[in-house]
Structure 1
Amino acid sequence: MKRIQFLQGAAVALLCMAASSASLAQGYPNKPIRLIVPFPAGGATDLFARTLGQKMGEKLGTQLIIDNKPGAGGAIGSDQAAKAPADGYTLLLATTSTHSIGPAVVPKLPYDTVRDFTPIAHVGDAPSIMLVPVDSPAKSVREWIAYAQKNPGKLNYASSGNGTIVQLTAELFKSQAGVFVTHIPYKGTALAIPDLISGKVDVLFDSLPTGMPHVRDGRLRALGVTTPKRSPLAPELPPIADTLPGFESNTWFGFYGPKGLPADIVARVNKAANEALADPEVKEKLSRLGIEPAAAGTPEQFARMVAADAAKWKRIVVERKITNE
């Protein structure tokens, strides 16, 4: 008898939870949505959030309020998002750093990137380009690899610091090309650019929007782009993958909610994101930021993409013995 009463009580509780979730989703959204950006105001991720967030707000019929929570490579803001109520009023704009690289290079993240979040939408990618000094003997990716193979240990590459996407991209390149190039970490690629221009550094994998102005001014040479195909943001550059099949490195951007976010809310935010990304004005603004809008996709596709990306970077971190120290 007690067992029957327990089962009946559990069934009622589940029905109440389902009804509560459905009710929550039905009235969503009826107030502003907090969008946590785990990086400083004024940076590429922040500007992307504000550009896309404004149009998404129009689609959802509410305002997306940007809340910058920088620190610890994005871990502080991501952790706050993970611990927020699963009601759809706190979202996270995550990146490669927070959900692909972070778990591989940070020993003890305060969150689990799979267990503690609900994937919603892949919204954009920022490609990088391979930069060398203008007087480099290499005028193509193939020539640079041959040059490095003839000079093992004599060449170096700059990065924005240990455990960053810039370092990992270079290490991925080294792994696939079979070359030995010494790492020189800087506190940001902006500090490395002068040394690259002067020839003190031999190569840098920098983001397209910060690197291309130096190329177009004739101060640096770009050998290729890190996307699998030519980027519409710099169509003149061939993909590195033309020389190293399968090579790819992007900084992706995507929306997550806390774990347990109702499916109806996930669907609404996903739809709003995809519709906003299709807007010509948003596309034009993102192009100026050096970001390619993601193709319309499902939360499941986004989750699979991130899982594959995280596995790739974990392999490189382990293989190349990379740390964030």
Structure 2
Amino acid sequence: MPSIATRIVAASLVLGGAAAQAADYPDRPITFIVPQNAGGSNDIVGRIVAQKLAETLGGTIVVENRTGAGGNIGTQAAAKSTKDGYTLLMTISSSQAINPALYRAPGFDPVKDFIPVALVGTVPNVLVVNPDFPARNLADFLKLVKAEPGKHHYASAGNGTLNHLLGAMLNTTAGLDMPHVPYKGVAPAMIDVVGGRVPIAFASLPSVLSNLKSGKLIALGVSSPQRSPALPDVPAIAEQVPGYSGTLWVGLFAPRGIPAEVETKLKQNMVKVLADAATRKALETQGVELANATPEQFATLLDEDIARWAKIVQAAGAKVD
């Protein structure tokens, strides 16, 4: 059996090694797993944040889109990765807060498996229509769809995604009957909405901003409680449908169990990233409303959203096996 002195020396070596690991971190590329398709909000935000975080850390960050099962595949990979701080998860509320209620076995625990590093910000979803759709404002849209139940379909990025549930919420709260057409990701959904094959969609603002600017899509309302600064002339849906609200948040997580010193270094450097003027401008240009939250407040938000969306999933009857 080792002597007390031997155990003390061994413990000192471990602590010294951890400190050295944090001091050297990162000494090889970091991977940001983005569990959604390229071109979506999370991918756009993740690449902006990765570029600046790599600069502040003095290293390299590679963004890896690992998609599938509504975000579960990439999230599982991050949860099961080596707990050394070299694999991080840039994700959105629909995967982290909705999937645990939506899937029978998502393959991860959003709280037990992850440490919230930084809440980047929130992103409204936009109710968009093809330019040929007969309603050109929110009031007329609600009146038309209500008068013609079952006729006007809406597209989403997939069953149980936030844009699916936002449509289900609007059906419930406004007394509509819009059938849902699920796609495998936001990009193919937007292709069909732009092409007029499905006339309506809910989509995150960054993912449709270019199509709105070019006139290929028309924005009728935003899902946030108030109007978005990026679309000041577009009403909040809540202006016509009181109580309607649903925003997407984007945040950085690390697998639980990474060295404490590395965790601290990541959190401190993300504060610098989100304080950087150029980074803030790049994110705001994409319609991101930047957060001002501590990691502890982010953890509370996650807990609250898990409980809130579980009720909405149950009410919508949405389940994916």
Instruction: State the SS of the aligned residue for 2:54.
Output: helix
Structure 1 residue 19: Cα displacement: 4.0
Percentage identity across paired residues of the two chains? 35
The aligned residue for residue 128 of structure 1 is 125
| 1:258-297 equivalent positions in 2, closer than 5 A | 258-288=255-285, 290-292=286-288, 294-297=290-293
Map of 2:152 onto structure 1: 155
Asked if the contact 1:121/1:273 (under 8 Å) is kept, the reply is: yes
1:320 aligns with 2:316: yes
Q: Does 1:310 align with 2:274?
A: no
1:23 aligns with 2:57: no
Aligned AA (1:144): F
Within 5 Å, which residues of 2 pair with 1:89-104? 89-104=86-101
TM-score, structure 1 normalization: 0.81
Contact 1:186/1:192, CA 8 A, preserved across alignment = no
Q: Aligned partners of 2:47, 2:130: CA distance in 1, in Å?
A: 35
User: Which position in structure 2 is the counterpart of 1:3?
Assistant: none
Structure 1 residue 214: Cα displacement: 4.2
Judge conservation of contact 1:127–1:207 (CA < 8 Å) in 2.
yes
One-letter code aligned to 1:76? I
Q: How does 1:43-192 map to 2 (within 5 A)?
A: 44-134=41-131, 136=133, 138-187=135-184, 188-192=188-192
In structure 2, relative to structure 1, the CA distance for the partners of 1:114 and 1:140 (3 Å cut) is same
Pair 1:244 & 2:269 matched: no
**Equivalent of residue 203 in structure 2, options 202, 206, 221:** 206
Q: Encode CA deviations 1:12-68: one digit per residue, 9 max, x unaligned.
A: 8xx779946963675252413332223455654334323211211222233323344
The 1:135–1:258 alpha-carbon spacing in structure 2 relative to 1, beyond 3 Å, is: closer
Cα distance in 1 for residues equivalent to 2:233 and 2:145: 24
User: What is the DSSP-based 3-state SS (H/G/I as helix, E as strand, rest coil) of the residue aligned with 1:88?
Assistant: coil
Offset, 1:324: 3.7
* TM-score normalised to structure 2 length: 0.82
C-alpha contact 1:277 1:293 (8 A) present in aligned 2: no
After TM superposition, give the deviation of residue 293 of structure 1 in Å. Answer: 5.1
**One-letter amino acid of the counterpart of residue 151, structure 1:** E
CA contact 1:75–1:109 (8 Å) conserved in 2: yes
Cα-Cα RMSD: 3.4
Deviations 1:141-192 (A, max 9, x none): 3443333333333433222332222211111222222322222234432233
Q: Secondary structure at the match of 1:255?
A: strand
| Structure 2 CA distance for partners of 1:293 and 1:16, relative to 1, 3 Å | farther
**Relative to structure 1, is the Cα distance of residues 239 and 270 closer, same or farther in structure 2, using a 3 angstrom cutoff?**
farther
